[in-house]
């Protein structure tokens, strides 16, 4: 089971992601959205709104949140949880930055496929 050791997968440069915007990463386990907020912080979530599966990467990013383009649910990027009165959660993918490059947690991506 030593394969469980964390494997970080490089997906691109920090500068590839526009501020207050998102980019998509295609994986076998479905799409992942990488967000960059106005303060420069980065987050990665599965690119599916917990409501009706809307592509969160296409939403408007504000504060540490994103508004889903399909029905305006607001998802907290730091937890993946729906905010306000809506209930639901989309899985978060741990992310790290080294030398201006973005890495995603491979084990967490593998878990999405499960």
- Binding residues (CB under 8 A) for other proteins: these are 3-5, 7, 9-12, 16-21, 23-29, 31, 34, 38-39, 52, 54-55, 58-63, 65, 67, 69-70, 72, 74, 84-86, 106-107, 109-110, 113
Helix, strand, coil percentages (3-state) for the chain, rounded to 5, are 15, 40, 45
For residue 42, the number of C-alpha atoms closer than 13 Å in the C-beta half-sphere is 24
Cβ distance to other proteins smaller for residue 29 or 79? 29
Q: How far is the CB of 26 from other proteins (least distance, A)?
A: 5
Q: In which region does residue 25 sit, left (phi positive, over 0), alpha (psi from -120 to 50) or beta (all else)?
A: beta
Cβ distance to other proteins smaller for residue 27 or 90? 27
């Amino acid at each position: 089971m030593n394969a469980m050791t964390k494997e970080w997968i490089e997906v691109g440069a920090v500068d590839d992601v526009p501020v207050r915007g998102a980019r998509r990463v295609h994986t076998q386990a479905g799409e992942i959205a990488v967000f960059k907020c106005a303060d420069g912080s980065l987050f990665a979530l599965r690119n599916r709104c917990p409501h009706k599966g809307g592509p969160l990467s296409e939403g408007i990013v504000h504060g540490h949140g994103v508004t889903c383009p399909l029905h305006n649910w607001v998802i907290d990027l730091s937890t993946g949880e729906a905010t306000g009165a809506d209930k639901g959660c989309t899985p978060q993918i741990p992310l790290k930055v080294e030398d201006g490059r973005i890495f995603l947690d491979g084990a967490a991506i593998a878990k999405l496929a499960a």
